[in-house]
Chain A
Amino acid sequence: MRPFDYARPADVDEALSLVGDTPGARFLGGGTNLVDLLRRGVETADLLVDVSRLPLDEIEEAADGGLRVGAGVRNSDLAHHPLVRRRYPVLSRALLSGASGQLRAMATVGGNLHQRTRCPYFTDLDAPCNKRDRGAGCAARHGASRGLAVLGTSERCAATHPSDLAVALVALDARIELASRDGVREVSADGFHVLPGETPDIETVARRDELVTAVVLPSPPPGRGDYRKVRDRASYAFALVSVAAVLDVVDGDVASVRLGLGGVGTVPWRAHRAEAHLTGSPLSDERVAEAVALELADARTTPDNAFKVELARRTAVATLRRLATPSDSTAGAIA
């Protein structure tokens, strides 16, 4: 791999200074994605600033019943935290459905939000890719496109966002805390990732010198939650389609519903349109199917990935049906 320097700052301020002062510097979390990409020459760095040992590994209860999760918390620690399991089962399940036990034990919350697409053309340096090299073209759209996104795509890029965690976070209205030498700001998880548009190389609102320091979870939404991930093998595979859902039914009507979709979007997808269609009405398979159809009305598909539209509908229907069935004690609980 291309030679680079490595620094292990003593505190957050030093980390921010190092990256702020050094063009070509990058933050390094668990390294489960970035190191692979550096090896393959897909990403480059002159300096890696290792933030994985900074004191960003706390999970604290907030006064409003929410949680503040340090960006350095490992995915497995977050998934198994008692408060997360109890209050945010959708989040715990999303985490546990991702990667493998070994990877979850390394990967950090902050790093997860910055992970790159697994579009195979993105890592093929001999194939044109607008995400890797703005304006180079896209080999994927007319190539092997089964894994591509169907929502939020542009002419330039349809690469799928791979995160499971982020799908749960957008459904939970989480906020992302960003720090730089200029100070600290918060953005919504739903607004953290940006659509590819003309600039697929830009994936988040975070500037290069901004570090994700925490994820702030508001108090959990009412109802029961679940994360359902459909994939090509039983474990250790990226989603074909995933659904993060929290459903509250009162007197037979949907009082509130949160719906996030994974595997279908260029960004973790909050299904606002579907939620609006469901809220205030009785829940039925047909109603959910209509809602998902509304959400996916703008889907742009290829013959190879067109199945995702139908699979998303089916998965959402099945997930909400289970959440609405009180006798089903497994939904919302962690196995």
Chain B
Amino acid sequence: MTTTPTRPRATPSTPPTAGRTDERQWVGRGVDRRDGPAKVHGDALYTADRPFPGLTHGWMVHAPHARARIVAIDTAAARAHPGVVDVVTHDNAPRMAPPPSASLLDLSSLASRSRVEYLNTDQVHYDGQPVAVVVAESLETARYAASLVRVDYEVLPATTDFRAARDTATRAKQTPAAPTVSGTKGDAVASLDASPVVVELGLTTPAHHHSAMEPHVTTAHWDGDRLTVWDPTQGIDWCRKHLARRFGVDVRQVRVLAPVIGGGFGGKGSVWAGTLLTVLAARHVERPVRMALSREAVTRTVGARTPTMQRVALGADRDGRLRSVVHEAVVRSSTVGGGSEQVVAVSTALYATPALRVGTEVVELDMLPNTFMRAPGDATGSFGLESAMDQLAHDVSLDPVELRLRNDTDRTPLHGRRFSHRRVPDLMELGSREFGWAERGPGGRRDGDRLVGHGMALAYHPALTFEAHVVLRATAAGRVVLRTSAQDMGMGIATVLAQVVADELAVPLDRVGVEYGDSDQPIAPPAGGSTQTASLTAATVRAAERLRSRVQRLGPSAAGSVLDAVRAHGQDVEVVVGHDEGLRARAGTLRWIAETLWGQRRWQRAAWGAHFCEVAVDADTGEVRVTRWVGAFDIGAVLNAKTAASQLRGGIVMGLGLALTEESVTDARTGRLVGPDLTHYHVPSHADVPEIGIHLLGDPDPTAPRGVVGAGEVGITGVGAAVANAVFDATGRRLTHLPLTPDRVLGLAPEA
């Protein structure tokens, strides 16, 4: 087993992974992020910081009703305010084409999670829907003038209470190539009834907001029919195509730039109202417009992670071997978009069972559509399954690790597909050893006023790759430049791709440039679903192969290194992987679909992990503090020990929020968020986060290009359960409603 020990708050660079051959000297190392110094020094220009000549500023007016019809909008007072350029409403806004329907042949059709035709309709479909945009010479003027806009509504009946509307839920249908939302094997209910040991839990998780440090912001500039948009999107290409379609211009006339992104977590993965309306307003006022959203505007116009209601039932023999797994979930979606989530998918991946039944129901409300947030479904579903497994371990008097060993599987329990790579026992062994799991002692030990407990849970996230295009150029001046429209939200993609190029071409790392964050570059997939690194690594490796072979054909000068050869050649050499346009682009998409479907039939590829943690629960007040954390992960090959550990550690921190503090509250009467700000929505503070040890197997996935699987999402999965399991160990209370705030820990909260 190869491990890459990484320390919390990592040292500048961690040693290279063992087993490396000499010519591959950069991949695997903990190379510092290229964008690090600029961000630390404050030199990085985020979208809202970027100077722009002639700029105006937009501010949205939000509807305060979940369903309504706009009767009239009085903008006179706002327009009369000094500094106001114009007020855009459905009375005067340019028309947009409606959003397209989803198609696998054009993934950019998935760019919008909402079907609302903003400012092109008098209908209000959710509380917070923008109904006007004020454009002014300054941000504060626009903001104040927005308060002067008077809107008369005819208020319509609305359904906004998730629990009350539970009975209106419809079953989510399973579609091919989509994440698992339903499936059966055997007769799970009969097997459950026949099992000697049965665990059954009803659980809930609340809605979550991504809460990226950088709120959403867009700058849009029209020059005739040419549109330039600065927007920290996670999906440059999808955003560009979506805007072209909505505004009826050729896609080649739209340029989207996202050179610096202050976090996304899925919240910037789709095109939401703020982006569209900035472009719309710029078209209307014929000047550049920037709309920097307040935290309130972000939470009222950008979807959140759905709340869930879950039921998990496990049937087992007295020795802990599973006979039946039942996992059912209810999620909250919208009448105008959003969709189901793979809450139950984790139960079709982790444990061997002869009988299995998973299903998902969707409640559609008059609310903002739900959307992807870090490990959609798996982050919340793993809380359900892994809490139930912990309870089962307790009920059959087995160590939670031993229970999981007994139920380990090398095939997916639902379809019997082989896993491309699964070393869960090794992960548990590594994590146990690093944590000192065997030496943890009995739960409930008292330390002063605090009760100490330990918990563990597995982590899982399925892996996919998308088609990615790159251009690789070796210059006669002695540099190599990789160009792709990839998005770097802060995870370090540019750094990692430079490492890959350096090794593939055997050139020094400081000779490699990576240009990204601009739709003028070749098309890259969105940064989402833990797919970007694997997808771009595959494309980059192919580009390097082509470049090497081109260089070899240069003739006598091809003898030395790639750079020497190109220098001797006297002219730049450039290769292209992928076609952005035309028939060959369509062929590439079809090839990707075929490869994906074919691959999915043969194997299931995934990232894995095992969390181990210690908590101290204040016996008087019910406050939970996580005091120790060790995560062992298998993310395939590790390209950069530092950025990989950082992704995983960040996922765990976000998971601590899910476990302990984060809860987006909606007033069920109105469908309006209560406290749409960071005062009321508690992301973890530094004091909530202990030292987090990250340990990596570093074992390449044999089916993935260069063995890369993806690290962005697996870290958050299982964290909620690991904490709740530790609290159970400390207090004897099985807590099934997140987050674990003091009132819930003390059993004083009204049951959900």
Contact = CB atoms under 8 A, between A and B. Distances in A.
A139 B144 contact: no
A181 interface: no
Interface string B58-95: 00000010000000000000000000000000000000
A15 to B, nearest CB: 25
A136 B316 CA distance: 58
Contact of A2 (B144, B623, B625, B749): B144
Interface of B: 64, 140, 143-144, 147, 449, 618, 620-623, 625, 660-661, 665, 667, 669-670, 672, 674-675, 677, 679-680, 682, 684-688, 739, 741-743, 746, 748-750
A39 B742 CA distance: 33
B742 A232 contact: yes
B433 to A, nearest CB: 29
Given A232-B741, A311-B742, A118 B449 contact: no
Contact of A139 (B667, B675, B677, B748): B667
Nearest to A40: B296
B674 A144 contact: yes
B685 A235 contact: yes
A144 B667 contact: yes
Interface stretch (A83-91, A253-261, A313-321): A313-321
Interface in A115-152: 118, 120-121, 123-127, 139, 142-144, 146
5 contacts: A1-B144, A118-B680, A233-B684, A238-B679, A311-B742
A55 interface: no
Contacts of B749: 304, 307
A318 B449 contact: yes
Interface residues of A, number: 40
A143 B674 CA distance: 9
Interface in A197-217: none
B687 A235 contact: yes
B669 A234 contact: no
Contacts of A237: 682, 685
Contact of B679 (A118, A143, A311): A118
Contacts of A2: 144, 147
Given A118-B679, A139-B667, A235-B685, A124 B746 contact: no
A65 interface: no
B622 to A, nearest CB: 8
Contacts of B620: 314-315, 317-318
B143 A1 contact: yes
Contacts of B746: 307, 310-311, 314
Given A139-B667, A237-B682, A314-B620, A307 B743 contact: yes
Of B667, B677, B750, chain A has the most CB atoms within 10 Å of the CB of: B667
Contacts of A315: 620-621
A126 B739 CA distance: 28
B672 A124 contact: yes
Contacts of B743: 146, 240, 307, 311
Contacts of B748: 306-307, 310-311
Contacts of A146: 743
Nearest to A309: B748
Interface in A218-265: 230-238, 240-241
A318 B144 contact: no
A41 interface: yes
A126 B672 contact: yes
Contacts of B680: 118, 120
A236 B674 contact: no
Interface in A152-171: none
Contacts of A139: 667
A3 interface: yes
A322 B679 CA distance: 31
A143 B669 contact: yes
A126 B621 contact: no
Contacts of A123: 675, 677
Contacts of A183: none
Contacts of A326: none
Of B143, B618, B620, B660, chain A has the most CB atoms within 10 Å of the CB of: B620
Contacts of B661: 232-233
Given A2-B144, A123-B675, A233-B682, 13 more contacts: A118-B680, A126-B672, A127-B672, A139-B667, A144-B675, A233-B684, A234-B685, A234-B688, A304-B749, A306-B748, A307-B749, A318-B618, A322-B449
Contacts of A1: 140, 143-144
Interface in A287-335: 303-304, 306-307, 310-311, 314-315, 317-318, 322
Contact of A233 (B143, B618, B667, B685): B685
Contact of A230 (B64, B623, B677): B623
Contacts of A142: 669
A125 B258 CA distance: 34
A233 B449 CA distance: 18
